[in-house]
Chains A and B, each alone.
Chain A
Amino acid sequence: MNIQEYISSGIVESYVLGLAEDSERTAFEQMCTLHAEVRAARDAFELSLEQQALSAAVAPPVTLRQNILQQLAAETVPESNSITPVVQMRPIRRSPVPMAMRYVAAAAVVLLVASAGLNIYYFNKYRDYSQRYDQLLAQQTELAKNNNAMQTRMGNYEQTIKGLTNPYMAKITMEGKDVPNNGSPDPRSLATVLWDTRSKDVYLMVNNLPMPETGKQYQLWAIVDNQPVDAGMLDMSYGHMMVKMKNIPRAQLFAITLEQRGGSSTPKGPMYVMGKV
């Protein structure tokens, strides 16, 4: 059967008037989507039927209009519980969107969990590295400090050696036993003054002195024409190294006394060592 025969078989009218059987209806709807001629024939018959119905219209009672429109205004939108093919279709048509959204949501949750896991992992790693960094920093600071101390000591030793090997440096040995009247509290005490004969700078090197009690400090004196002249305070922390003292242009003797911390203008404490120039 070709399309024209199909169209003129009465199926169009049968379908439109609701007289077709289910199988015929399904087939006709298929034909409509496939063939524009079938659709056109259906439209034409529908239109003629509608025009006929409109021309044959019978007005219902006037009061009915008000009643019906009022009833419609009072109607509530039906829930999806009305059982009809089309209504049943709608959730199925809609379902791709929620399903897609569900996949997106699931993916989002997975990503969130993964991200949280990575956060914990990287935080731990960060904390570990941070600790290690702090340790390294402390070590580095320690090393730098040690290095500084070493350099200072090295510098001091270099200076001491320079002083000892300087041909213009006069060396005055001060001994405990040289203190008059055996007055030294510790006769084994020994210290050396190095005196630059050109610049007249005085350096002191402690060979053996008892550690002073707290609040006390050794003071170096130059005896010039029987008058003691302050030549500087002694810092024991330098040990046996050469420490620069004051500039003394002229002197006959050098001596060390133990004085109050900060020193005195004239010697008051006991003399530990003395040496002649």
Chain B
Amino acid sequence: MGITLTYTEQELVSLLRNRDNKAFAYLYDNYASALYSIILQIVSDAELANDVLQEVFVNIWRRIEQYDMGKGRLFTWMMNIARNASIDTLRSKGYQNSRKNQSIEDNVDTLQVTDVLQPGVDTIGLRKVLEKLKAEQRILIELAYFKGYTHEEIAELEKIPLGTVKTRIRNALIQLRELLK
């Protein structure tokens, strides 16, 4: 990379809003890999992940005005764009349509982490951190965060009360914070 320009987040956002090509190149060079990793954790297919990454950058380019610095960091905003784009892609492609959903519905009691997690991606990013959680918590995080199910959907899928779903997810998140420290 040689001499790398560094911007404050404010400067960067301002340049991105001006559709500054250099700023987008900077954004790509510094964050594309981290975003790619998040995408891979959800869609798992490399070919598909390439498309999603492209879509994510186009979305950032188009929607940078909507980013509100008061509500969080730029990376958090981009990370959520990446997560949503990945989940949308997964759903529209019908990627895991029948087989995975069915396997969850049919085997709720016996659902193993390995059944849900895509092979090869359980060792990167948040998933690696999540390995340290209890299985029952990992499954809920998997469904909520990586599959984008609502708490109600999860309660139905897992045949557990909505309140329990919420509590377990909250507890899992609290532990996650500790694990990330």
Contacts and interface: CB of A to CB of B under 8 A. Distances in A.
Contacts of A60: 32-33, 36, 49-50, 53
Interface string A12-38: 111011110100000001001100000
A68 B57 contact: yes
A9 interface: yes
B84 to A, nearest CB: 7
Contacts of A57: 33-34, 36-37
Interface of B: 19, 21, 24-25, 28-29, 31-38, 40, 46, 49-50, 53-54, 57-58, 61-63, 65-68, 70-73, 75-76, 79-80, 83-84, 124-126, 128-129, 144-145, 151, 169-171, 173-174, 176-177, 180-181
Contact of B126 (A52, A65, A75, A86): A52
Interface in A28-63: 29, 32-33, 42-43, 45-50, 52-54, 56-61
Contacts of A42: 72
B54 to A, nearest CB: 5
Given A48-B180, A53-B79, A82 B62 contact: yes
Contacts of B58: 68, 71-72, 75
A58 B169 contact: no
A261 to B, nearest CB: 101
Contacts of B67: 86
Contacts of A33: 70
Interface SS of B by simple majority: helix
A48 to B, nearest CB: 4
Given A13-B174, A71-B54, A19 B37 contact: no
A54 B34 contact: yes
25 contacts: A8-B174, A9-B170, A13-B173, A13-B177, A17-B80, A17-B173, A19-B144, A19-B169, A46-B76, A49-B76, A49-B79, A52-B129, A53-B35, A53-B37, A56-B37, A58-B37, A58-B124, A64-B53, A64-B54, A68-B53, A68-B54, A69-B24, A71-B54, A85-B66, A87-B65
A90 B62 contact: no
A275 B57 CA distance: 135
B73 A56 contact: no
Contacts of B79: 49-50, 53
Contacts of A78: 62-63
